[in-house]
Chains A and B, each alone.
Chain A
Amino acid sequence: MLTLQTWTVQALFIFLSTESLGELLDPCGYINPESPVVQLGSNFTAVCVLKEKCMDYFHVNANYIFWKTNHATVPHEQYTVINRTASSVTFTDISLLNIQLTCNIRTFGQIDQNVYGIRIISGLPPEKPKNLSCIVKEGEKMTCQWDPGRETYLETNFTLKSEWATEKFDDCKTKRDNPTSCTVDYSPVYFVNIEVWVEAENALGKVASDHINFDPVDKVKPFPPHNLSVSNSEELSSILKLTWINSSIKSFMKLKYDIQYRTKDASTWSQIPPEDTASTRSSFTVQDLKPFTEYVFRIRCMKEDGKGFWSDWSAEESGITYEDRPSKAPSFWYKMEPSHTHGCRPVQLIWKTLPPFEANGKILDYEVTLKRWKSHLQNYTVNDTKLTVNLTNDHYIATLTARNLVGKSDASVLPIPAYDFQGNLAESKCYLITVTPVYDNGPGSPQSIKAYLKQAPPSKGPTVRTKKVGKNEAVLEWDQLPVDVQNGFIRNYTIFYKTNIGNETAVNVDSSHTEYTLSSLTSDTLYMVRMAAYTDEGGMDGPEFTFTTPKFAQGEIEAIVVPVCLAFLLTTLLGVLFCFNKRDLIKKHIWPNVPDPSKSHIAQWSPHTPPRHNFNSKDQMYSDGNFTDVSVVEIEANDKKPFPEDLKSLDLFKKEKISTEGHSSGIGGSSCMSSSRPSISSSDENESAQNTSSTVQYSTVVHSGYRHQVPSVQVFSRSESTQPLLDSEERPEELQLVDNVDGSDVILPRQQYFKQNCSQHETSPDVSQFERSKQVSSVNDEDFVRLKQQQISDHISQSYGSGQMKMFQEVSAADAFGPGTEGQVERFETVGMEAVIDEGMPKSYLPQTVRRGGYMPQ
């Protein structure tokens, strides 16, 4: 009774509570979250919260909560009591798609009460849709499809979005049964780019595909060409002409086509080369077809540039090519009728109908011709495939042609032997025996064989010849024997070969060969060779052939000569290079330069000779053996000498030149001309120069001066003149004293400038002055009379650009090198510089022989 009261109270409590809440049922608690959607593989926590009144009523708290999933109790390790009223449960790595989770309490008396329950839905967020593509079927709206990606296990909505630059179009929502494609509800507009993408969305997320942007005209699938028709040509039996009507899309889009055809009975299609149908057209002629053959065609089209989709195939259409004359004669044979009467025999001629690919049309009739030897001719036109005729016992030739609408076939020929025909076979003759089987429906394929009644040795032997002869081998070749001399089947050949003195060697060769290589031959040897051909009955030798092996193999001589020549060339080249490098040494010892008097050009020592500035140290190598001994005595000129005197001295010099030329030594007419290859840097060369110049000693007195500049010295150049020396030359000390009196900032002791004034009056760099002086001094060290002149030294040291010194130096250069090139003079100048700096030893020079004209003041 008490229990009943208790339950009644409880029910009343619940009813009152529910009523007060306006609900039918008031749960004892609740679970948060209410409707969870959980990503597979993630963790999930649910919290159950008990209501106070329930706790009081059942005398429970959160510790009494236990969880169940799909009616299975969750282990207590996953519980967490948050407070008195709340307990949570945590699941890790959710893997089930659908979980029923309940929160329960265990009340007094071990009675389990369900407090609340939820459903956990698991799934995945949508993947980014891939491979979005669209198609615009002509006359329809645009449809796009895509790859939705992985299964999400959740309800996922796909929305196709599209827009122009200027418009946004309505979204295209997919249908539940086809979530991977959608057809928009607006008509496509060609030639306006549209941007399209797909958005996928479910409870776990939203993702958009890549956007694609295209012109709908590039996604068109046109209607196939329609009204395809096929027509043939009477002129050409190998063509059929197709015509069709293009879809209306042709008006703004160029098309290309794909045409396929097959014979009616074939299953595989042949294709017209795409390049032949790559432009908009409405007809096409197919060529290279078989005559009188039915072909089936179909065609499809697409945008000319290949963008878009091929249309569906058109309806198939067939056509037959026109007839052509039969390409082959019918097979033809005869049968002898058994009823043979005297002098006459019935013969049945039989043939097969031509297959369609040979008949090339409908065979209208056959024409049979019988010819007895060369005389009588009988013609028959037959619609059937057999003909019976009565023939005499003679030999006949029967011919048969088939005729269709276009023409006749070639004739097939059938010999009909005479009635008493017997074989008259000869020995040693080759016969071709052909057997043709005859079946009920016609002849089979014939088989042939060659045969001899009786074989004999060949009438002739093969003629052998050489194809190629090497040092140790020879390639022999021969022709097959003609059939009429074989007299049997050639079984093999034998090659005999020998030298003049050697034994004969025999080699057997298969009859199929026409070539053989003899090896291990001796070089430079005469060989004799012959061949024999053998049948089953014996052999026959052919004519003998001789050949001589060469002494050297091909290329051997070249292999020897070429390296030798190369070695010779290399040696020569090295020798030349060596000589070039040592040319000075060689020249000095073999052919030292000797000045050629005939090339003297005193007249060129004009003061108007252009300046020479081209310094080239390389030129110094020229041997000073070129020099004649040159003695230059420079006499101080009066500084106050007026300019006209300069000119006078130049004139005088010229005159002197003229007068002395005839008395010059054999080497040079004057010192100015004495050398064309100046070089004074080497002591050896100096020696050479001295040797050479030992007989060319002459001096000329030069009155230095240049134009308006006052010459500072007078120059005496020694010569071989027999004239008495001037006083100044005989007493050089006095001259030196005079020089010192004139004063100079820099004195170069023992420095001689023995120069002959050649009236070179152009300016030269001062450096060259020194160079020139050295050259002179080094060449004529021993012979020079040193007339030290302070004034000269002054000019050298102070201003080696002065006109006076230039004149002297150029004269000197000219003396030494003759009227040579500028380079020659400049070389001289370079060396002279060293002489000024290095030469410290006093030197003296006494003229030896004074001839007429010597020491002429210039």
Chain B
Amino acid sequence: MSRREGSLDPQADSSVSPLPLLEAKIRQTHSLARLLTKYAEQLLQEYVQHQGDPFGLPGFSPPRLPVAGLSAPAPGHAGLPVPEQLQLDAGALAALPPLLEVVRRRQAELNPRALRLLRRLEDAARQARALGAAVEAVLAALGAEPRGPRLEPAAASAAGVFPAKVLGLRVCGLYSEWVSRTEADLSQLVPGGPA
């Protein structure tokens, strides 16, 4: 396991200097973030499609409910040093999978036939964990503390159907925002642009 996401251990291959390894890892993580950004947009679209009205209507603007244990990227996020940015990204990516799992379970009840949506939500949780682990590996290679103590998200739940749908929309939106934010943060470390 140690050879994979945290695979910057020079003992794994002593002939390869750590610098190209780090660079390759940053490129790979940035590419993953870019890919997940695209996937997150698709997830959001698919989620909206399955929620029925008024979610798909042009003028619909659901309330931005606070989600326990996770907030949207702060406006000052871009001004932070890169390691701190990545620490925040890693924290958010760690908090997202349980939320996505909650949404998936709820959607399994509300839209049991939306198999693709359910698969996407399941994949999104898994991919968020993978991206979070990759960001932490980059942080470790940069010599920064990977992350502060993990904030266990409170059990996000909504009693009614509509609030549950709104919560799902919010979680999918946060997922999209954070992977997009992570991509932007990592792009500062990629020499010469992404691969």
Contact = CB atoms under 8 A, between A and B. Distances in A.
Contacts of B132: 166
A194 B35 CA distance: 16
A652 B90 CA distance: 102
A167 B32 contact: no
Given A193-B4, A213-B4, A254-B195, A166 B129 contact: yes
B126 A165 contact: no
Interface residues of A, number: 19
A252 interface: yes
B84 interface: no
A712 to B, nearest CB: 81
B123 A192 contact: no
A454 B133 CA distance: 101
Nearest to A194: B4
A252 B35 contact: yes
Nearest to B33: A191
Nearest to A218: B28
Contacts of B127: 189, 192
A252 B35 CA distance: 7
Nearest to A164: B130
A192 B134 contact: yes
B34 A252 contact: yes
B3 A167 contact: no
B18 interface: no
B159 interface: no
Nearest to A187: B123
Interface residues of B, number: 23
A166 B130 CA distance: 6
Given A165-B6, A195-B4, A254-B195, A190 B35 contact: yes
Contact of B126 (A167, A191, A213, A254): A167
Interface string B122-139: 010011011111100000
A251 B38 CA distance: 10
B29 interface: yes
Contacts of A195: 1, 3-4
Contacts of B35: 189-191, 252
Nearest to A251: B38
B5 interface: yes
B16 to A, nearest CB: 14
Per DSSP, chain A at the interface is loop
Nearest to A167: B126
Interface in B26-46: 28-29, 31-32, 34-35, 38
A215 interface: yes
A768 B29 CA distance: 84
Interface in A189-246: 189-195, 213, 215, 217
Contacts of B133: 164-166
B7 interface: yes
Contacts of A194: 4
A175 B34 CA distance: 36
**Residue from A166, A194, A215 with most neighbouring chain B CB atoms (10 Å):** A166
Contacts of B4: 164-165, 193-195, 213
A163 B35 CA distance: 20
B130 A167 contact: yes
Interface string A136-176: 00000000000000000000000000011111000000000
A190 B131 CA distance: 11
Q: Is the interface of B mostly helix, strand, loop or mixed?
A: helix
Nearest to B194: A252
Tell which of A164, A195, A217, A254 has the most Cβ of chain B within 10 Å.
Answer: A164
A744 B123 CA distance: 114
B13 to A, nearest CB: 11
A215 B30 CA distance: 14
A192 B131 CA distance: 8
Most buried by A among B1, B34, B130: B130
A193 B3 CA distance: 9
Nearest to A190: B35
Contacts of B1: 163, 165, 195
A447 to B, nearest CB: 66
Nearest to B97: A166
B5 A252 contact: no
A193 B2 CA distance: 11
A683 to B, nearest CB: 76
A191 B134 CA distance: 10
A189 B119 CA distance: 13
Nearest to B7: A193
Contacts of A163: 1
Nearest to A169: B126
B31 to A, nearest CB: 4
A194 B1 CA distance: 10
Contacts of A166: 5, 126, 129-130, 132-133
A217 B24 CA distance: 13
A189 B130 contact: yes
A215 B127 CA distance: 14
Contacts of A215: 28
A192 B133 CA distance: 10
A73 B45 CA distance: 77
Contact of A165 (B5, B29, B32, B38): B5
A213 B134 contact: no
Interface in B56-115: none
Contacts of A213: 3-4, 7
B31 A252 contact: yes
A173 to B, nearest CB: 21
A473 B63 CA distance: 111
Nearest to B131: A192
A164 B3 contact: no
| Max count, chain B CB within 10 A of own CB: residue among A167, A189, A215 | A189
B104 to A, nearest CB: 15
A193 B4 CA distance: 6
Nearest to B132: A166
Contacts of A165: 1, 4-6, 130, 133
Interface of B: 1, 3-7, 28-29, 31-32, 34-35, 38, 123, 126-127, 129-134, 195
9 contacts: A165-B130, A166-B133, A189-B32, A189-B130, A190-B31, A191-B29, A191-B134, A193-B5, A213-B3
Q: 4 tightest CB-CB pairs across the interface, nearest first?
A: A191-B32, A165-B5, A165-B4, A166-B129
